[in-house]
Amino acid sequence: MNIGYIGLGAMGSALATRLQQAHPLRVFDLQPDAVQRLVATGARACGSACELGTHSDVVLVCLPTSSHVRALLDGPDGLAAGLRPGSLLIDQTTGDPAVTRELAAALAARGVALVDAPVSGGAAGARAGTISIMVGGSDEACARAMPVLQAISPNVLRAGEVGAGHVMKLVNNVLSAAQRLASMEALSLAAKNGIDPQRACQILVAGGARNAFLEKSMPAVLQGDLAPGFTLALMHKDVRLACDLGASSGVPLFYDNLTREMLQMSISELGAQAQVNEPALMFDRLAGTRVVPPVNSSTHAARSAR
């Protein structure tokens, strides 16, 4: 089985590196340095998406948005031009389920199956092989995709038909974003009222307010490390897509729309390319607290002044 991987950003490169431990890979990315890092560990570089598709039975992609996936497929040198009937495309992008279903239908007309398989757990989880993979697709396509995905992580969970993996990723990310912001706000409340933030976090993790952000990410924030490798722009995109899905499917999302507005406010203050943990600085400014210690204080000051 010939496997290709396209999209070697922070997450894609981690997923591809993990997959490469079990399967030889062909790779393609618009950034030559990203390609060379995989080539250095044994991958074969391709000069275009079309070339990679021509030589692959299975192609995985991990791009910023569904619009990028559409653009990758289109055109005379696009991926779709190289994919042969009978091949399989696995989309690990955090995508729009409606676009995913549209692309799946177009590919099916060419004899190509699409499975959506976004992930949750960060690049570190991808490298460690512990990341969660949410899968949508037909029974046949998912059965073909399963051995490939299980080479990345054993935590592969089928959500339903095509597009269902992307639905669950949006549900996951909107809940994660809400927990993140609510936890930052709660730590500011504790700090404002005389509780040491480190101690407050320990107490919350031991009680009913425990959540993944408090357990895994807040300890880094409390040390001044605000860079988990995911931007506010990408988180806002995911939450916006979840809110759009709520509107189109008739589901009221009161808290999630508030989360979207809080992320927009954070972008207005900190910038779209700020990290998702940097709103802790904004909560400190609003509350007059210091949950985030003055590590890299000049950077913190510059962010807070925006």
Give me the active site residues, please. 169
Two tokens, residue 151: 């080479």
Q: What are the angstrom distances between the C-alpha of 294 and each of 87, 119, 130, 240? A: 53, 33, 33, 32
Report the relative pairing of strands 156-160 and 58-61 from DSSP bridges: unpaired
Look up residue 265 and give its amino acid.
M
Give all strands (DSSP E) within 119-183, no chain letters.
Answer: 119-120, 132-136, 156-160
- Helix orientation angle between 279-287 and 164-192, rounded to the nearest 10 degrees: 30
Rounded CA gap, 202 and 199, in Å? 5
Find out whether 8 and 27 touch, Cβ atoms under 8 Å.
yes
Look up residue 30 and give its amino acid.
L
Rounded CA gap, 287 and 239, in Å? 25
Rounded CA gap, 142 and 98, in Å? 19
Q: What are the angstrom distances between the C-alpha of 243 and each of 37, 45, 69? A: 37, 38, 21
Rounded CA gap, 177 and 263, in Å? 9
